Each structure stands twice: as C-alpha cells, then as structure tokens.
Amino acid sequence: MATRSLAGLLPALVLAAAAPAAAGTLDQVKSKGYVTCAVNTGLAGFSMADRQGRYAGLDVDACRAVAAAVLGDASKTKFVPATAQQRFALLQTGEVDVLTRNTTWTLERDTANGLTFAPVNYYDGQGFMVAKKLGVTSAKQLDGATICVQPGTTTELNLADYFRSNHLNFKPLVIEKLDEVENAFFSGRCDAYTTDRSGLAATRAGKAPNPDDYVILPEVISKEPLAPAVRHGDDEWFDVVKWAMFGMIDAEEKGITSKNVDDMLKSDDPEIKRMLGVTPGMGKNLHLDEKWLYNIIKQVGNYGESFERNVGKESPLKLARGLNELWTRGGLMYGMPIR
C-alpha cells in the first residue's frame, strides 16, 4: 500500500541492525548536551512553533521534561518537525532521540516498526468534523462523502474499517501535509475531515475561518492512545523517558506543582522525598541526577499543569480532562510508584 512508511515494511531485525544509535542514547544525549525530538509540523496544543521558532505543546513538554531530567535544563532541546509518514524513519535512523508527535501506540508500531512506547500522554479517539451548514449530526450520515485524511496514520486505516463495517461508502482525499489537508477541508474539497478528536479541536480552534461554522460529530470510532516512543533495544533510555512521564503524573497526584516544588522539598511525605531527591536513590537508579524530577516539575510542571496550559481550560482548545484525568479522579492517568 502506497501509504505505508518504508520502514513499516522492513523486518524488525533489519531495523535493529540498521539503527546506529540503538544503544547508549542516554550517554549520547549527555555528551551532545541536548535532546532531539521529532514533533508535529504544527498542531496547536501538541506542538506548534511561534514566530520566533519557540515550540509549545503537550508533546513539546514531554520532550522538555526529558531534557530537564537528563540535562537539568528543559530548554536543551532540538525539535524536528515530521509528517506522519516521516516520523518513524527519523527515530529508526537515529536522527532523533525521542518521537513526541501525537503517535498512537499500536501493535505493529510496537513490534515490526521497532518502537518502544513510553506512558501515554493523551488518550484520544478518532472523530469527524463537518461544516455545520451540511446539517449532518452523525457519522452514519456520511454515506458517499468525500473525506479528507492524512496518509501514514492510524486514521486512514480506521476510516476504511469504520465505513466497511457500517456498510457505507466514502471517497478518501489523501493529502500528506497538514496545512494542505486543512485547506482542502475548509475550502470545501471534502465533506468531512477525520483525525484524532484532539486534532480536530486544534484545527477548528487554530485554522477555521470561523470555528463556530464547524461541528465535531459525536462518534468516537477508535482508541488513539498517544504516547512518546523510543527505539527498541535501549532500555536505559526507555527508562528515562518512561519515568519522566510517570514522574509528571505522580507529581500531579501528590500535589507538587511548578509553583510549590521548593516548599515541597520540606515535605515529610516519604514518596515526595524520594521524588524530589531529598532522599537519594531514584536518580541513581535512572543514571540521572537526584534532582531529575525536581527539575521537570520546576521547569515544565506536573502533568495537569502541562495539560491545562496546552490543551485544557487555559488553552484555545479547551479540551476536558476526560480520560486524561488522574486515576484518583476517575481517569486513566496512573503513574507507577516512585520507590
């Protein structure tokens, strides 16, 4: 199929042998002095550069958290924008250290594509957006519609599955570049645009001529657990990225924020003491400074702070926490214990 990435066609063993930076990414990052992350080419809330080229977003924060943990400085990052089709090769060839780009964790990517996924930083699902004037209220009314979609995505595959299983027809309009697919939709070249619902919200808030003219239909047709990923076979680096994510979630659960983290250094709570390096050991286990998580929280914030700033109440997207709420409040965000 033309839409599959080349790397997706290669056997895992060949990939493992071909990946130059398969082992020792932590040492490489420490010696080069920055973390290189593949990010979106421009998706509000997840990864977007301003006019000065400064990146912001939930995925950008994941990368910055890794930099804070490893180098003590969240600004020691380099962002490489990648389309859906380019992203896996960038990681596999060693051009980037981490993939932080609204990437869905799937079996094929976790195995044949040679990726290892860190904890999910946004639980999403695929949806559809249409112009309000069409009067469509359900995806089931899209029989025969032209649907805009990006290649190299789970979106494209789920779209075909959904229409097939509902015995509906559609015409895909497949466009690789995000700007171009958005323009095609807003200029009426397709009846509906389909992607992750967070992506629909970002496109509507950031790119629609008038956001109120567009509706996101109620159907959620897939599970899209979006997670950072590293290369297979580098457990030490995987541990760092994994615990940077868990650490942000645990910090929210413990009520540690970028604002109060210095006061929290005086806490009597034994887990908080381990988290902030007051009781040493966790940093050593990760081959990092004992202040690894203190630096993340101080410079990037806990998971909830990052969520609200980028995609939640304080952002143009205004997404509800929903599944991305902490497990203690009915959501799926559950950081493993720091001990």
Ligand X SMILES: N[C@@H](CCC(=O)N[C@@H](CS)C(=O)NCC(=O)O)C(=O)O
Stretch that binds ligand X, among 57-65, 160-168, 194-202, 312-320 (CB under 6 A): 194-202
Considering the complex, state which of residue 25 and residue 104 has its C-beta at the smaller distance from ligand X.
Answer: 104
Q: What backbone phi and psi angles, to 5 degrees, belong to 171?
A: -115, 115
Tell which residue, 271, 251, 269, 270, has the closest CA to residue 261. Answer: 251
Stretch that binds ligand X, among 37-45, 55-63, 213-221, 269-277 (CB under 6 A): 37-45
- Shortest separation between residue 311's beta carbon and ligand X, angstroms: 13
Considering the complex, state which of residue 40 and residue 302 has its C-beta at the smaller distance from ligand X.
Answer: 40
The only residue of 224, 234, 250, 305 in contact with ligand X, by rule CB under 6 A? 224
Footprint of ligand X on 236-255 (CB under 6 A):
none
- Helix, strand, coil shares of the chain, percent, nearest 5, are 40, 15, 40
User: Cα–Cα–Cα angle for 47, 212, 215, nearest 5°?
Assistant: 80
User: For the sheet containing 115-117, what is the strand order?
Assistant: 77-81, 35-39, 98-99, 229-231, 115-117
Q: What backbone phi and psi angles, to 5 degrees, belong to 73?
A: -150, 110
- Shortest separation between residue 199's beta carbon and ligand X, angstroms: 3
Considering the complex, state which of residue 41 and residue 257 has its C-beta at the smaller distance from ligand X.
Answer: 41
Query: How do beta strands 192-196 and 126-131 pair?
Result: antiparallel
DSSP 11-44: -HHHHHHH-TTSS-HHHHHHHHTSEEEEE-SSBT
Strand partners, 231: 115
Which residue, judged by CB position, is nearest to ligand X in the bound state? 199
The only residue of 36, 100, 121, 154 in contact with ligand X, by rule CB under 6 A? 154
Q: Are 314 and 56 in contact (CB under 8 A)?
A: no
Considering the complex, state which of residue 151 and residue 247 has its C-beta at the smaller distance from ligand X.
Answer: 151
Considering the complex, state which of residue 121 and residue 154 has its C-beta at the smaller distance from ligand X.
Answer: 154
Footprint of ligand X on 59-88 (CB under 6 A):
83-84
The only residue of 129, 178, 272, 286 in contact with ligand X, by rule CB under 6 A? 178
The only residue of 5, 77, 103, 222 in contact with ligand X, by rule CB under 6 A? 103
41 lies in the site for ligand X, by CB under 6 A: yes
* Total binding residues toward ligand X, as defined by CB under 6 A: 18
Query: How do beta strands 98-99 and 170-174 pair?
Result: unpaired
Tell which residue, 291, 137, 318, 84, has the closest CA to residue 211. Answer: 318
Stretch that binds ligand X, among 3-11, 68-76, 96-104, 273-281 (CB under 6 A): 96-104
Six token digits for residue 202: 């970002």
DSSP 152-203: TSHHHHHHHHHHHHTT--EEEEE-SSHHHHHHHHHTTSSSEEEEEHHHHHHH
Considering the complex, state which of residue 3 and residue 258 has its C-beta at the smaller distance from ligand X.
Answer: 3
The only residue of 36, 100, 194, 195 in contact with ligand X, by rule CB under 6 A? 195
- Shortest separation between residue 38's beta carbon and ligand X, angstroms: 10
The only residue of 77, 104, 121, 315 in contact with ligand X, by rule CB under 6 A? 104
| 81, 102, 161, 188, 295 from 228: Cα distances, Å | 15, 8, 25, 34, 19
- Shortest separation between residue 101's beta carbon and ligand X, angstroms: 7
- Shortest separation between residue 233's beta carbon and ligand X, angstroms: 22
Helices then strands (H, E): number in the chain?
Answer: 15, 14
* Residue 203 identity (one-letter amino acid): T
In the complex, the residues that contact ligand X under the rule CB under 6 A are 40-41, 43, 83-84, 102-104, 150, 153-155, 178, 195-196, 199, 224, 226
